[in-house]
Amino acid sequence: MRDREATRARLLDAAMDEFAQHGIAGARVDRIAAGAGCNKAMIYAYFGSKEGLFDALLKIQVDRLVASAPVTPEDLPGYAGRLFDAYASEPRLLRLVAYHRLGNGSGDVPKADVEAVAKAQREGRVSAEFSASDLLGMVVHLSILAFTTPNATRELVERSVRRLVGQ
């Protein structure tokens, strides 16, 4: 008898490599299945489609990222630093997010995080120079942009965000 969860986990692991290397359009289910040591029909059985597999993988990875780097409105530089560290420890995630944005045009930050920053702005704990959504979007993107800058460091990201938020 097959271990359903082990098969699902192997498919997700193989998909991480395939999607990070080739994107959703270039990824091939036969390579994912081979990497997972199973039949490609299992992808459809577990995830419905290649896109369903990508969406499931992205959700898992983003949930891990959110758990490892929670938003702290009063310490947005620290939040950006934690994001930088998370991306540095799993660079394939940057590629997954980029491919998702290319295909969907969406790069929204979680609504609850925007609301937390907005509340801190209303209470005067965070600068209200930018909308909460714009501010949080810029903080997230500064943590990502650093990977396109030679010799970028967590310190550079945190210093940039401190300047952005006036700290």
Whether the model clears a pTM of 0.85, i.e. scores above it, the answer is: no
């490609």: which residue's tokens?
40
Residue whose pair of structure tokens reads 């990977």 in the numeric block: 147
pLDDT tens, residue by residue, 122-165: 999 998 999 999 999 999 989 988 778 888 899 999 999 999 99
- In CATH, the architecture of 1-55 is Orthogonal Bundle (1.10)
Task: Give the per-residue pLDDT at 1.
Answer: 42
Rg (CA), the chain: 18
Q: How many residues does the chain have?
A: 167
* CATH of span 69-167: 1.10.357.10
Residue 144 pLDDT: 87
Contact 32, 43 (CB under 8 A): yes
Domain with CATH 1.10.10.60 in the chain: 1-55
Q: At what angle do helices 50-68 and 76-89 cross, to 10 degrees?
A: 130
Question: What's the rounded Cα separation, in Å, for the pair 46 and 11?
Answer: 9
95-117: per-residue pLDDT in tens? 888 888 777 665 667 888 999 99
Residues 6+ apart with CB under 8 A from 150: none
Task: Please say if the pLDDT value at position 30 is more than 80.
Answer: yes
CATH 1.10.357.10 positions along the chain are 69-167
Residues with Cβ within 8 Å of 59's Cβ and at least 6 positions away in sequence, in order, are none
